[in-house]
Amino acid sequence: MNRNFFIIAVVLVLFCAGMAGAQEYPLLDMVANKVIAKYQQSSCEQLWQKKGQPESEREKEVIQMLQGDSQMRQIFINKVAAPIANKMFECGLLP
């Protein structure tokens, strides 16, 4: 009984921490959703063509912002990593 309570408590704390991080940076959440949508809506050919192209000024600003705030960077990466990695794997961009 105590073990089940402990597991439920840990899951609840992690869930709340994740929600707090997302609410702390609403702009970050919007940017992450745009990045995810870009990858999900792009064809593999479009992703191959974009690979190696220089970033736009806006993308450079976002990257610089993420480099300066490790908590924001962690929240962003946790949100976008799985959808981007799955799409890249489907397209042969990851081994």
| Of 85, 88, 83, 79, the residue nearest 46 (C-alpha) | 88
Per-residue pLDDT reduced to its tens digit, 6-61: 455 444 545 555 555 456 788 888 889 998 998 899 999 998 888 788 888 888 88
Contact 82, 35 (CB under 8 A): no
What is the domain partition of the chain in residue ranges? 25-90
Do the Cβ atoms of 79 and 34 come closer than 8 Å?
A: no
Closest of 40, 43, 31 to residue 77, by C-alpha:
31
Let me know: does 31 contact 63? Beta carbons within 8 Å: no
Identity of the amino acid at 88: M
Higher pLDDT, 22 or 77: 77
